[in-house]
Amino acid sequence: MKTNHPSGKSGMDLLRDPRWNKGTAFTREEREAYGILGLLPDIVSTPETQTKRIEAHIASLPRDIDKYIYLADLQERNLTIYYRILMGDPVTYMPIVYTPTVGEACQTFGRNYRRPQGIYITLRHRGKMKQVLRNWPEPNVQFITVTDGERILGLGDLGAQGMGIPIGKLALYTAVAGVPPHLTLPIALDVGTNNEELLNDPLYIGLAQNRIVGTEYDNFIDEFVESVKDVFPGCTIQWEDFANHHAAEILEQYRHRVCSFNDDIQGTAGVGVSGIMTATRCKGERLQDQTYLFFGAGSAGIGIADLLCTAMEREGLTREEAQHRCWLVDSKGLVTSSRTDLTPAKLRYANKPGETLSLEDAVRELGVTVLLGTSTIPGSFTQPIIEQMARNTERPIIFPYSNPTSKSECTAEQAYTWSGGKAIFASGSPFPPFEYDGKTLTPSQGNNVYIFPAMGLAVLAAKPTTIPDEAFSVAARALSGMVTQEMFDSGVVYPPLTRIRESAHVVATAVAEYFFDSGLATVERPADVGAFVADKSYKPDY
């Protein structure tokens, strides 16, 4: 006798729905009830057996990209087992479903394309974006990650093939913080591409035309935001991998019109500031006691500088006083008020007139104590620069954040060796532990994954009207609070990635509390915010 499944589906339709499919874990009673008798082999598996079977298969695949493709298929077959695997061992699987493997996945997206895992909104959809969004099978989308594909990781313009990024990133929101996957939606805005290789590739999956610009682009983004607000009320938008010339502008333009944030700017800032908070606290100093130099004044560098100023304001400085402790060096040298080529964002840090010094001269003349690299220029933190940092202060903070490893401003080994073992080091890409003077120093990785999944869960739980920068400062402080002096003494400024799920819960709870305290939350404050946040978190069980 057939009875209804909660999804309303039965038979092959049920087996083909990744959210509800249990595969061989459907019991004999369920098989009878839902019209799937005979559509499965005889065995009734436990989720544990299913997980083991699939993990063994993944382990047997030779290349990470093969594992990526296999996992993408699994995500389309059985969401529960997909997330059991990711959540069971995020340290192993994050580099496969997201960076670095997702970079290659995006480059070959056209060749490996199988099924729609999100929505493509193209220029052909102007005037009917609401209709496009309504085609998504889940009516209650609460969280969107969207890219226009113009600056995918360090790979540049990948057009519609950038879709791999929102898909992978949303998988981490769930795997790390438990953001319920059925409430999320990856979106690629296909506004063309200027990538000649893709334009000439017959297997390119996107619109084969150049990117639209100016008002035409602005209007496209505007229709997108208004459509999301209409079709998915209360939905948060996370902007991802937009080019530098659009990222900050879009964030500022929309952050008060729709609950939204940009991880490249604000998530990076959160993790960067958290590392600096830990390093200064464990040195027994304050944020305001440092002189900061940001080498590379793009989205990441200026994002970190801005949030650092917000955190210094909390220490009692005025915004102007905080900005005076931060210096930028861009491709033309030190940013000073004598320069005539500065954007408004850079002008905030043009602290004095004067000549455009090189990085080495600036580190010496300004007495820099914290040096942060987001320049993508490998090897730019040279031996003389690091030696000078070690003369400027007892424990220099040196964070080469450029990715991948080949773009890092210096290696961990260089920072430790040239500073005589004094450097407090964190990088964008991981470096192995290093033996110095009989002591093992463990470099930290300033991975945004410490911040963005937790922010996503906090936003879903508290439903704030807007996400002020202060929320990222709160996240940074909560993350920093997880690092003990003992951990710091071994070299690290972040909790180990093996504890990522625990740290996500701590950070999400702190941020949700901030939303309730500041009156931004639109749901009633629960008695126990931590339990409330945990309760909102997805559990990969049938």
Provide the binding-site residues for ligand NAD, judged by CB under 6 A.
154, 244, 264, 268, 271, 295-301, 329-331, 374-377, 401-403, 407, 428, 446-448
Least distance between ligand NAD and beta carbon 406 (Å): 10
Is position 98 annotated as part of the catalytic site? yes
Strand ranges, E, within 73-118? none
Q: Among 34, 83, 93, 98, which one carries the catalytic annotation? A: 98
Least distance between ligand NAD and beta carbon 128 (Å): 32
Kindly state the helix (H) or strand (E) to which residue 292 belongs, with its residue range. Answer: strand 292-295
Q: How many Cβ atoms from other residues are within 10 Å of residue 47's Cβ?
A: 17
Q: How far apart are CA 425 and CA 396, in angstroms?
A: 9
Identify which of residues 129 and 326 has a Cβ nearer to ligand NAD in the complex: 326
Backbone angles phi, psi at 38, to 5 degrees: 85, -15
Kindly state the helix (H) or strand (E) to which residue 83 belongs, with its residue range. Answer: helix 79-88
Amino acid at 361: D
Identify which of residues 268 and 388 has a Cβ nearer to ligand NAD in the complex: 268
Least distance between ligand NAD and beta carbon 146 (Å): 17
Q: How far apart are CA 171 and CA 174, in angstroms?
A: 5
Residue 210, C-beta contacts closer than 8 angstroms, at least 6 positions apart: 192, 193, 194, 199
434: helix, coil or strand? strand
* Ramachandran region, residue 296 (left: φ > 0; alpha: ψ -120 to 50; beta: rest): left
Q: Write out the two tokens for 82.
A: 């997909």
Least distance between ligand NAD and beta carbon 341 (Å): 11
Identify which of residues 159 and 464 has a Cβ nearer to ligand NAD in the complex: 159
Identify which of residues 68 and 452 has a Cβ nearer to ligand NAD in the complex: 452
Identify which of residues 362 and 471 has a Cβ nearer to ligand NAD in the complex: 362
Residue 101, C-beta contacts closer than 8 angstroms, at least 6 positions apart: 64, 65, 67, 68, 95
Q: Write out the two tokens for 285.
A: 């100093």
Q: Among 67, 169, 407, 536, which one carries the catalytic annotation? A: 169
Least distance between ligand NAD and beta carbon 402 (Å): 4
Backbone angles phi, psi at 295, to 5 degrees: -95, 105
Q: How far apart are CA 411 and CA 320, in angstroms?
A: 33
Contact 163, 188 (CB under 8 A): yes
Q: Which residue is nearest to ligand NAD (CB)?
A: 298
Identify which of residues 306 and 330 has a Cβ nearer to ligand NAD in the complex: 330
Least distance between ligand NAD and beta carbon 298 (Å): 2
Q: Note the Cα 40 to chain centre separation in Å.
A: 39
Identify which of residues 452 and 538 has a Cβ nearer to ligand NAD in the complex: 452
Identify which of residues 142 and 447 has a Cβ nearer to ligand NAD in the complex: 447
Is position 169 annotated as part of the catalytic site? yes
Q: What is the largest CA-CA distance in the chain?
A: 84
Least distance between ligand NAD and beta carbon 360 (Å): 12
Q: How far apart are CA 505 and CA 503, in angstroms?
A: 5
Nearest residue to 446 (alpha-carbon basis) of 489, 409, 391: 409
Least distance between ligand NAD and beta carbon 351 (Å): 17
Side-chain-facing half-sphere of 232: CA atoms under 13 Å? 25
The Cα-based distances of 39 to 34, 43, 178, 533, 542 in angstroms read: 11, 12, 31, 39, 19
Enzyme catalytic residues: 98, 169
